[in-house]
A and B are shown apart, each in its own frame.
Chain A
Amino acid sequence: MKHTVSVLVENRAGVLARIAGLFARRGFNIDSLAVGETNDPTISRITIVADGDDHTAQQLEKQLNKLVDTIKVRTLSPDELLARELQLIKLNATPAQRSEILTICEVMGGKIVDMTPTSITIEISDSPEHLQRFRALIEGYGIKEIVRTGTIAIQKGVVTIR
C-alpha cells in the first residue's frame, strides 16, 4: 500500500541525507521524494511516497519523529489529500500528428512547451492518477523521454501542518 508522508524539518545541511538514510537502513522503499523550503525559510517540507504495510508506515512515522531535525510528521490518508506531480514529456510527433496531440493536451490539461519538426514537449501537472491516464493516451506516439518531480501533497480544506 502507498503512503504519503509529509515531514517538516529544519532547513539545514545534511537533513535530507539523514531522512533518506533512515529509509534505506530501516528497509523502507521510497517511491518518490520532493523537498522544498516552506513559507518559513528555516523550515523545509519533504513529501515522501513510500510503499509498505500499516505496521511499516507506523514505524516509519515513529522513526522520522525520532530524528532530531524533524519538526512534524503526518501520514496523509488518500481521501484527505490533494497530490500533484509535474512531468515533462518529449514525444515523437510528425506534423501530421500534431493536431491530435494538441487535442489530447487541451482536454487533459497538458501544455505544449517546445516543438520541433519531429517532436513535441509537453508539460503537465496533475494528480498521479490523472498523469497515468494521460500517459496511456499519448504512449502510442512514442515517448522519447519523461522527466518527473516527486509527488507533493497538501491537505484538503483549511487544515494545515505546521
Chain B
Amino acid sequence: MIRAAAAMVKCLEAEGINCVFGYPGAAICPFYDELYSSDIHHVLVRHEANAGHAASGYARMTNRPAVCIATSGPGATNLLTAIATAYADSIPLICITGQVSTDQIGCDVFQEVDITGAAEPFVKYSYLVKDANDIPRIFKEAFYLAGTGRKGPVLIDVPQDVQNVQIDFEYPYDIKMRTYKPTYKGNPLQIQRICDAVNKAQRPLLCVGGGIFLSGAEREVAEFAKKACIPAVSTMMGLSIFPTDHPMYVGMIGMHGLRSANTAMNSCDTIIMIGARVGDRAVRSPSFLAEGKTVIHIDVDPAEIGKNIPVDIPLVGDCKVILSELCEMEYDNDHSDWIEQVFDIKNAVPENEETEGYINPKVFIRKLSDRLPDDTVCVADVGSNQIWTCNHYGFRKGARFLTTGGMGTMGYSLPCGIGAKMAAPEREVVVICGDGSFQMQLMELATIIQENISVKIIVMKNKRLGMVRELQTKCYDDRLIATDIGNYPDFVALANSYGIEADRVSTMAEAEEKIEKLASSKKAYLLECNVYKLESTL
C-alpha cells in the first residue's frame, strides 16, 4: 500500500515524465510531498498560467504530453488560460490540480472552485478523482487521451484527502475505453480518390497546418509535395514545416500572410488541407475560397472536416500515416506550368527604411535568423511581434517555430520558450515578444535565472500595444485609447536586476553587433529593441 499522492508521482514516472512545471499550494501539498522523494525535476514558475505554457513548449518539442501542476481555487483558475490555449492549438497537456477535501466540496470553503466545471469547454477530458483507487487508471487514460487522436489538455483534479488515502498501486498496462477510438489509417478508397484528383488537377496546392507537427509528419509532407509535384502554403501553426526557402514552399497564408501564398490559394483548382482546421485568420471566407475548387481535407478529428469549409473529398486519419500512404501512390503530372505561375507572384518588397533612433523590426528579425543556428527554436508572442516574426524570420532546415495560433494568448512566448529549452537544452531558443506581451510574463525572468535556462529574449519596444493601436487607427477613426503603455520599464535594468545580461539596440547600424553578442552568449540574454511607435505590422 502506498499513499495516493505517491501513486500520482509513480504514474508520472511510469509515463516517462522527468520534468514538470508547477506552483504549489495547500490542496496539492501531499503530491508535492511525494515529489520531494522523486527524481522528477520540478520547475517552479512564477504564475500558474506559465506552468501551462511552459508545459506546452515542452510538449511541442517532445511531441508527448507534458505536465503542469497547480493548487485548488486561484491556482487552478490561473491555469485556465493556459489550458484553453493548449486546447485551441491541440497541445497535449496533463494538468494536475489540487482540490479541497471531498467532504468540503460544494461548501464554498477556502480556495475552492469547481475547476473541472470551469475548464469543461476547453479540455479534451477532465477527471475529478473521488476514489483514490482510480488514480492509476485515470492517469493511464489521461496520458492516452491527451497524446492520441486530436491531442489536447486533460485535467485531473484531486481532492486533498484523496491524495492521502493508502492504495494498492499497480500501473495498468492497457486501456479499456469503449468509447474512444481515434482513426489513424486513411480509408483506401479516399486515398485513391485524392491521388486521382491530384493527377487530374491543373493547379493543385497543399496547405499544411500545425497537425503536421503534432503527428510528426514533417518529413512525409515534404516527400509528398516533391513526389506529387505540388507547391505548398502554410498556416501560422504550420510555419517551419518547410524551410522558408524550400523550392516547393510559397509562404504563409491568411490575413497577415504573403500575397503570393494567398494568391496561390485563390487561384488553385484543387486544394489539399492537411492538419489545418481552416481557422478564420487563415481563411477568411472559406465558402468563397471553395467555389469552383476541389477541396480535400485531411484531419485526425472528424469534427473539423466540413466544419468551416465545404469538402469534396474528406479523409479522417493521422497526417503521418496518410501522407505515407499518399506517397505510395503513383503521380504522373508535374504541374510545372502551375508551379512556375505560383513562384512568379511577387511579394511586396519590405522597405528597409529606418526611423532615426529606432530599429526596423522586419530587417532586424531577418538579420537575427541569419545569425542564429539552423536548428533554433523560435517562439513568437502575440501582436505585431508575431507577424513580423512569421513574415521575416528565415526558417532553415531543422528550425522550429512556436506560437499560439488559435487563442492568441499574450504572455505565451517566454514560458513556452522555457519549456522548449528544458526539452531541448542543446538547441538555441529565441523568444520574440513585444513590450506589451513581455509585461504579461516578465515574472518568469526569475524562473530563468533560478533554473539557469539560457533562453534569448528579444523585446520589441514600441511603447504601444501596436496591433490594437493599428486597429484603432484603421477602423476606429484614429481614436486611440488604452494602447499607449509608456516608456517603461527599462527592460535592460529590469533584466539586470534579476542577474540576467541585457542590452539595448536603437539603430540598425549596431544591430549586427548586438545580435552577435546575444547569439554568442552562453547564458540567458535580453535585448531591448527600440521600435518606432507607428511601425506597421505588415
Contact = CB atoms under 8 A, between A and B. Distances in A.
Contacts of A71: 178-179
A58 interface: yes
B373 interface: no
Contacts of A17: 117, 120
Interface of A is mostly: helix
A125 to B, nearest CB: 32
Nearest to A18: B120
Contacts of B145: 68
Interface residues of A, number: 16
A17 B303 CA distance: 20
A69 B179 contact: yes
A14 interface: yes
A65 B302 contact: yes
B177 to A, nearest CB: 8
A5 B216 CA distance: 37
Interface stretch (B121-129, B225-233, B244-252, B521-529): B121-129
B305 to A, nearest CB: 8
Given A58-B306, A59-B307, A63-B303, A68 B124 contact: yes
B179 A66 contact: no
A62 B307 CA distance: 9
B347 to A, nearest CB: 36
Interface in B274-325: 301-303, 306-307
B441 interface: no
A25 interface: yes
A12 to B, nearest CB: 10
Contacts of A58: 306
Given A69-B179, A70-B179, A71-B179, A62 B302 contact: yes
A14 B179 contact: no
B476 interface: no
A21 interface: yes
A51 interface: no
Interface in A109-147: none
B287 to A, nearest CB: 11
A26 to B, nearest CB: 10
B179 A21 contact: no
A160 to B, nearest CB: 17
A14 B145 CA distance: 18
B110 interface: no
B18 to A, nearest CB: 27
- In the complex, which of the residues A21, A62, A71 has the most CB atoms of chain B within 10 Å of its own CB atom? A62
Given A68-B124, A68-B180, A71-B178, A14 B303 contact: no
Contacts of A66: 301-303
A68 B125 contact: yes
A25 B302 CA distance: 19
Interface string B117-152: 100110011001000000000000000010000000
B116 interface: yes
B147 to A, nearest CB: 14
Contacts of A18: 120
Interface in A15-51: 17-18, 21, 25
Nearest to B301: A66
A85 interface: no
Interface in A62-79: 62-63, 65-66, 68-71
Contact of B179 (A25, A63, A68): A68
A14 B121 contact: no
A14 B124 contact: no
A69 B145 CA distance: 12
A132 B285 CA distance: 43
B183 to A, nearest CB: 11
Contacts of B177: 68
Contacts of B302: 62, 65-66
B442 to A, nearest CB: 33
A139 B303 CA distance: 44
B259 to A, nearest CB: 32
Nearest to B304: A62
Contacts of B180: 68
Contacts of A65: 302-303
Contacts of A21: 120-121
Given A65-B302, A71-B178, 18 more contacts: A10-B179, A14-B116, A17-B120, A18-B120, A21-B120, A21-B121, A58-B306, A59-B303, A59-B306, A59-B307, A62-B302, A62-B306, A62-B307, A65-B303, A66-B301, A66-B303, A68-B180, A71-B179
**Which 10 pairs, one residue from A and one from B, show the smallest C-beta to C-beta distance?**
A62-B303, A68-B125, A66-B303, A71-B179, A25-B121, A68-B180, A63-B303, A21-B120, A62-B302, A70-B179
16 contacts: A10-B179, A14-B128, A17-B117, A17-B120, A18-B120, A21-B121, A58-B306, A59-B303, A59-B307, A62-B302, A65-B303, A66-B302, A68-B124, A68-B145, A68-B177, A71-B179
